[in-house]
């Protein structure tokens, strides 16, 4: 069979397989394997987003509880390990997952682009002259590579805003997340930006949390009908929780009027934190 | 009820693989009882009579089983009717005065040979890299010698319905060939006869697929375009089998 066909003109592959890396790194060399990585890191990120959202609900318990929650994150495992070690390991894991997720997304998209170059290409998508009515692909699935970067940009802004305090200046009080959150989200443009970015995140999750099942081959006719519902509920839950923070701040349900440890009354950051700790102990 | 309609055709013309193509416009009167390919046949006859080059379009069986006739019709692979190949499409799907844009399937690995005919031989290369299955030749074995569970037989049959037309690749925004490849893999992997080479076959066919085509993002357009309605479940099946194949200790492949 092969003898008769090798003589024939053959379409040349657009990419040749490279020398194989040792297992398990070789999985990342293949598109299907890389999609597994994208899905697994996606799950990790979903876990983070969920815990992050739930954790932040402490803000509704007031400044002292929020401070306590932030401290408890730093104190994870501190009975046996140095303080903040676990937190830093978690952060490191997140960074690695994020980097892998991004790299696999970008390279696989590039692979698809290279495979479609002879079609007219508009906005990074294969187009036909006769128009293109998508039947199955929904808006979320076609905008993954826009919602993704919006999330990445937002993430950078968000860290600079509430972790490093770049934009709050003197108003930034390390260790008092309630105050920082209030100061940041009480500015209308910032609140709008948070709302928009979290809508992008929810869009991304709406497709991603379904798509990952297919990528990982989790497919069982008994449960398949639940997968899209799961993705939609997950996205909805994250959206609801995360949008509540800017909205409640704007609606003055998160505010500092009745705060016991008023930031402006206290001279130094240490005094503020001491006041918050005392407030906790008094309870 | 037949009626005669006039359609405005906009057809992709390209002399050869290395020449630039462009759209040409034609008008054609046609009875709604004609098939889509008969409409093109009539157009070609007229072009011939005028001494012009007829439109090259591929077809063979004209009954929806050979997979040669795929073209994009108004941006949809095999045209607007679900689960229907181009040859099975009839002009009653269109109305008088409609513009019909006909263009070849697009993907870098489906180079245009002429006009609407593309080279789908990368599919053959995927199949070739799958190799053989171990069945004894010689006199036909007893029909029920190898028991096959009904469900497995059904699944293999569903997968085997793929006619290799390439509509999945054409419709895919990523030009990915996951639906085709996974159908071929599932066809074999569902049956006892396909077990011996299952993992090797999965690895090499996916490997060849990735040399030619894009990466799946689970849009699901392929399933909608597929004239045989091959299920997306096969793609998940392939993704799972591929990972198993990579991780598997082949010496133990009897232990599933
Ligand atoms: C916290 C943030 C993020 C979460 C929770 C998340 C989650 C996910 C999940 C679960 C998937 C599905 C994986 C699969 O199909 O197998 C996915 C896919 C994807 N992600 Fe993300 N992601 C995040 C951030 C990003 C960022 C920053 C980018 C930037 C480029 C990005 C780009 C993509 C792309 C392009 C896909 C593939 C879409 C597809 O296969 O249809 N993601 N994401
Ligand atoms: S999977 Fe469907 S669309 Fe793809 S080649 Fe087979 S029959 Fe054609
Ligand atoms: S001509 Fe054979 S499937 Fe259409």
Q: Is the pLDDT of residue A138 over 60?
A: yes
Distance (Å) from the alpha carbon of A146 to chain B's nearest alpha carbon: 14
- Supply the pLDDT for residue A232: 96
Last residue of a domain, which of B99, B114, B129? B114
Most ligand 3 atoms within 8 A of CB, residue of B38, B57, B65 to mutate: B65
Ligand 2 atom nearest to B166, measured from its CA: 5
Measured from the Cα of A151, ligand 1's closest atom is: 27
Is residue A4 exposed (0-12), middle (13-18) or buried (19+ Cβ within 10 Å)? exposed
| CA B21/CA B113 separation, integer angstroms | 11
How confident is the model at residue A3, as a pLDDT? 46
pLDDT given at position A262: 86
A20 Cβ contact list (under 8 Å, min separation 6): A26, A29
Locate A170 and state its tokens. 């003197």
pLDDT given for residue B115 in this prediction: 96
CATH number at residue B190: 1.10.1060.10
What's the confidence (pLDDT) of residue A265? Answer: 80
Banded model confidence at residue A268, pLDDT cuts 50, 70, 90: confident
CB contact under 8 A, A118 and B107: yes
> Which of B56, B80, B114 corresponds to the end of one domain?
B114
Per-residue pLDDT reduced to its tens digit, B124-161: 999 999 998 877 778 887 888 889 999 999 999 999 99
Coil, strand or helix at A272: helix
Four-point Cα dihedral A105, A106, A112, A117, nearest 10: 160
Give CA–CA dist B69/B119, Å, rounded.
12
Mean pLDDT of chain B: 94
Q: Do both B199 and B136 map to the same domain?
A: yes
CA of B182 to the centre of ligand 3 (A): 21
Q: What's the pLDDT score for residue A78?
A: 85
3-state secondary structure A149-185: HHHHHHHHHHHHHHCCCCCCHHHCCCCCHHHHHHHHH
B11 and B104 co-located in one domain: yes
Candidate from B125, B173, B208 with C-beta closest to A137:
B173
* Closest CB from B106, B121, B240 relative to A128: B106
Contact B215 A112 (CB under 8 A): yes
Pairing of strands B4-13, B99-103: parallel
Cβ–Cβ under 8 Å, residues A44 and A91? no
Q: Residue B7 pLDDT more than 50?
A: yes
End-to-end CA distance of chain B: 58
Answer for the pair B255, B198: CB distance below 8 angstroms, yes or no: no
Residue A193: phi and psi, rounded to 5, are -60, -40
How much is the pLDDT for A56? 96
Same domain, B132 and B235: yes
Contacts of B175 in chain A (CB under 8 A): 112, 115-116, 119, 126
Q: Which domain holds residue B54?
A: 4-114
Inspect the interface and report whether the beta carbons of B239 and A36 lie closer than 8 Å.
yes
Question: What integer is the mean pLDDT of B53-62?
Answer: 97
In a 10 Å sphere around its CB, with 0-12 CB exposed, 13-18 middle and 19+ buried, how is residue A281 labelled?
A: exposed
Atom number of ligand 1 nearest to Cα A149: 29
Q: For the packed helices A177-185 and A63-74, what is the interaxial angle rounded to 10 degrees?
A: 120
Q: Is A66 helix (H, G, I), strand (E, B) or coil?
A: helix
The tokens of B46 are what? 């007229």
Give one DSSP letter per residue of B144-165, joined into a string.
TSS---HHHHHHHHHHHT----
- How many CB atoms sit inside 10 A of residue B243's CB? 17
Q: Is the pLDDT of residue A6 over 60?
A: no
- Report CB contact under 8 Å: A5, B128: yes
Average pLDDT over residues A114-123: 76
Query: Which atom of ligand 2 is nearest the CA belonging to B222?
Result: 3
User: Both B219 and B132 in a single domain?
Assistant: yes
Question: With bands split at pLDDT 50, 70 and 90, how would you rate the model's confidence at B253?
Answer: low
Global pTM value: 0.92
Distance from C-alpha of A176 to C-alpha of A257, rounded to nearest angstrom: 16
Give the count of alpha carbons within 13 A of B114, CB side only. Answer: 8
Q: Domain extents for chain A? A: 28-115+139-282
Any idea what DSSP says for residue B142?
P
Q: What total number of domains does chain B contain?
A: 2
> pLDDT tens digits for A47-103?
999 999 999 999 999 999 999 999 999 999 888 998 899 999 999 999 999 999 999
ipTM: 0.92
Name all residues whose Cβ lies below 6 A of ligand 3: B 59-62, 64-69, 85-87
Task: Tell if the CB–CB gap between B239 and A137 is shorter than 8 Å.
Answer: no
Contact B219 A134 (CB under 8 A): yes
Fold of A28-115+139-282: 3 helical TM bundles of succinate and fumarate reductases (1.20.1300)
Cβ neighbours for A137, distance < 8 A, ≥ 6 positions apart: B173, B219, B220, B221
Tell me the average pLDDT across A139-157: 92
Confidence of residue A5 (pLDDT cuts 50, 70, 90): very low
Instruction: Mark yes or no for CB contact B214/A114 under 8 Å.
Output: yes
Final residue before a domain boundary, out of B71, B96, B114: B114
DSSP conformational letter for A111: H
Cβ–Cβ under 8 Å, residues A180 and A165: yes
Tally C-beta pairs within 8 A across A and B: 178
Burial B12-46, CB ≥16 within 10 A → b, else e: bebeeeeeeeeeeebebebebebbbbbbbbebbee
Instruction: Name which residue leads in pLDDT, A263 or B148.
Output: B148
Beta carbon of B166 within 6 Å of any ligand 2 atom? yes
Same domain, B102 and B144: no
- At residue A259, the pLDDT reads 85
For residues A181 and A163, what is the distance between their CA atoms, to the nearest angstrom?
10
Mean pLDDT, rounded, of chain A: 90
**pLDDT band (50, 70, 90) for residue B32:** very high
The domain that contains B107 carries what CATH number?
A: 3.10.20.30
Q: Which two tokens mark B21?
A: 């193509």
A126 pLDDT higher than 50: yes
The answer to whether the Cβ–Cβ distance between A2 and B128 falls below 8 Å is yes
CA distances to A33, A72, A90, A115 from A97, in Å? 15, 23, 10, 27
| Same domain, yes or no: B98 and B54 | yes
pLDDT in tens, A218-236: 999 889 999 999 999 999 9
Q: What would the pLDDT profile of B208-244 be if each residue is shown by its tens digit?
A: 999 999 999 999 999 999 999 999 999 999 999 999 9
The pLDDT value recorded for residue B251 is 66
Q: How confident is the model at residue B36 (pLDDT cuts 50, 70, 90)?
A: very high
Interacting residues of A200 by C-beta distance below 8 A, sequence separation 6+ = A146, A147, A150, A151, A154
Do the chains contact at B239 and A114, CB–CB below 8 Å? no
Q: What is the pLDDT of residue A1?
A: 39
pLDDT at B101: 96
Q: Of A116, A131, A133, which has the smallest distance from its Cβ to B108's Cβ?
A: A116
How far away is chain A from the Cα of B191, in angstroms, using its nearest Cα?
18
Token couple for A200: 């992008």
**B125, B244: one domain:** yes
Mean pLDDT of B16-25: 92
- Gap from CA of B72 to ligand 3 centroid (Å): 14
Residues B97 and B124 in one domain: no
Residue B84 CA to ligand 3 centre (angstroms): 10
H or E stretch including A47?
helix A31-56
DSSP symbols for B186-206? HHHHTSGGGSTTHHHHHHHHH
Q: Testing the interface with B: which of A1, A6, A40, A128 to mutate, by most B Cβ within 10 A? A: A128
Using a CB-CB cut-off of 8 Å, the residues of chain A touching B125 are 10-11
Q: Which ligand has the nearest atom to the CA of B89?
A: 3
**To test ligand 3's pocket by mutation, which of B40, B58, B67, B89 has the most ligand atoms within 8 angstroms of CB?**
B67
> From the list B10, B217, B233, which residue is nearest A211 (CB)?
B217
């Amino acid at each position: 069979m092969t003898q008769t066909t090798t003589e024939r003109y053959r379409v040349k592959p657009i990419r040749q397989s490279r020398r194989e890396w040792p297992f398990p790194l070789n999985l990342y060399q293949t598109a299907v394997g890389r999609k597994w990585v994208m899905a697994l890191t996606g799950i990790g990120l979903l876990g983070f987003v969920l815990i992050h959202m739930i954790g932040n609900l402490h803000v509704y318990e007031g400044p002292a509880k929020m401070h306590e929650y932030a401290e408890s994150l730093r104190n994870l495992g501190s009975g046996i390990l140095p303080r903040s070690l676990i937190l830093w390991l978690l952060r490191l894991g997140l960074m690695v997952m994020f980097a892998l997720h991004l790299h696999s997304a970008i390279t696989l998209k590039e692979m698809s682009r290279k495979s479609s170059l002879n079609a007219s290409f508009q906005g990074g998508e294969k187009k036909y002259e006769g128009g293109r009515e998508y039947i199955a692909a929904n808006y979320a699935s076609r905008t993954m590579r826009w919602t993704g970067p919006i999330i990445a940009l937002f993430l950078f802004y968000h860290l600079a805003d509430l972790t490093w305090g770049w934009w709050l200046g003197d108003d930034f009080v390390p260790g008092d997340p309630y105050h920082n959150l209030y100061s940041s989200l009480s500015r209308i443009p910032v609140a709008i930006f948070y709302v928009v970015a979290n809508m992008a995140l929810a869009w991304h999750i709406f497709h991603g949390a379904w798509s990952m099942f297919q990528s990982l081959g989790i497919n069982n006719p008994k449960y398949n009908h639940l997968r899209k519902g799961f993705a939609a509920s997950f996205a909805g839950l994250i959206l609801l929780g995360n949008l509540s923070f800017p909205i409640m701040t704007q609606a003055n349900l998160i505010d500092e009027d009745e705060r016991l440890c008023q930031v402006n009354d206290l001279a130094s950051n240490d005094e503020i934190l001491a006041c918050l700790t005392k407030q906790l102990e008094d309870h | 009820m037949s009626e005669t309609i006039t359609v405005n055709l906009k057809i992709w013309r390209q002399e050869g693989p290395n020449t630039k193509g462009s759209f040409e416009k034609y008008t054609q009167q046609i009875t709604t009882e004609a098939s889509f390919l008969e409409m093109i046949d009539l157009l070609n006859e007229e072009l011939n009579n005028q001494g012009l080059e007829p439109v090259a379009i591929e077809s063979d069986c004209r009954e929806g089983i050979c997979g040669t006739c795929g073209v994009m019709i108004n941006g949809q692979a095999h045209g607007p009717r679900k689960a229907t190949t181009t040859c099975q499409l009839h002009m009653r799907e269109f109305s008088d005065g409609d513009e019909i844009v006909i263009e070849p399937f697009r993907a870098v690995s489906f180079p245009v040979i002429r006009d609407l005919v593309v080279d789908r031989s990368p599919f053959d290369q995927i199949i070739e890299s799958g190799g053989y299955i171990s069945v004894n030749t010689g006199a036909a074995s007893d029909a029920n010698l190898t028991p096959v569970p009904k469900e497995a037989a059904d699944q293999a049959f569903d997968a085997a319905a793929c006619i290799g037309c390439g509509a999945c690749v054409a419709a895919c925004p990523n030009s990915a060939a996951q639906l085709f490849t996974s159908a071929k893999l599932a066809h074999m992997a569902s049956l006892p006869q396909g077990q011996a080479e299952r993992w090797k076959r999965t690895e090499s066919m996916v490997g060849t697929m990735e040399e030619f085509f894009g990466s799946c993002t689970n849009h699901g357009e392929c399933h909608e375009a597929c004239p045989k309605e091959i299920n997306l479940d096969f793609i998940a099946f392939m993704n799972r089998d591929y990972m198993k194949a990579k991780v598997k200790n082949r010496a133990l492949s009897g232990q599933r």
